[in-house]
Structure formats: structure tokens, C-alpha cells
Amino acid sequence: MTQFMLVVGDRPQDLDSVSRAIHEADWFLKKMAQELFTDRQLQSCWYLEKELAHDLFNQAQVQIFESKSLEETIIGQLLIKLFSSCEQIVCWYANDCDELPEFTNIELALQYISSELIQPGGEVYLRFRGKMAD
């Protein structure tokens, strides 16, 4: 299941209690962020607490199997909001963040995520580049 989610862009206030600026992360997440983003992007990089990212993707997988659409799940609604406002979003599991599938189109990204969540492992590996991306 997807374990990590890093975001470059403004952090919504309603996520303050479940997200942290990258400078507050453990050494692993800081290292991954430094490999994935430019110095400028690191200034506005934040992450969902890893347990929350995992739980939300896991919950979405169960709900999709129960006939909900991704857009009806909490993670789906969150991603739609973030895709529209953030520069980049990266999702992965463990240290497997090389050669992530890249998207710039919200609809295609959501279709991809839905298709990954119906797989047994339910792991979403993704790099979304929004309109403000370098």
C-alpha cells in the first residue's frame, strides 16, 4: 500500500494537524525530498504523516471494492484539491521512487490511481506535476 506522499505547494490549513513541513521529517523523507525536488521546491515541501497516507489509500481501496469511485473517497477528494493547487505531488512505497509514472492531467492521474487501487497490492506510485511545476 502507498506509504509516502510528498507535496510541493501551499499546505491547506485543514491538514495542519496531519501534515508536516519537510524540515520536520525523519532523515529518510528529507533525503527522498532532496532527491526529488529542487532547493526552491523544498522550501514549500510538506508531507502527510506516513501512517495517514497509508491508511487513506488503504481505506480508498476497500471503498472502491465496495463500488465507490475514487472521487467519493477521502484520499480522492484530497488529491483532487491538491492536484488543482500544488506544484508537485509524489506518492510511493518504501524506497521505490525511481522512474515514477508522471502525470500533468488531473483526470488521467485519477484514472491511473483508481486502476492501481483495484490491484491486490493497491500501491500507487505517482509523480503529478501541476501547472506551476518547473
Amino acid of residue 63: Q
pLDDT tens digit at each of 134 positions of the chain: 688 999 999 999 999 889 999 999 999 999 999 999 999 999 999 999 878 999 999 999 999 999 999 999 999 999 999 999 999 999 998 777 888 999 999 999 999 999 999 998 889 999 999 976 55
No. of helices (H) and no. of strands (E), the chain? 5, 6
Predicted TM-score of the model (pTM):
0.92
Q: Are 80 and 70 in contact (CB under 8 A)?
A: no
Ranges of beta strands (E only) in 1-134 are 4-8, 19-21, 45-48, 88-92, 102-103, 126-129
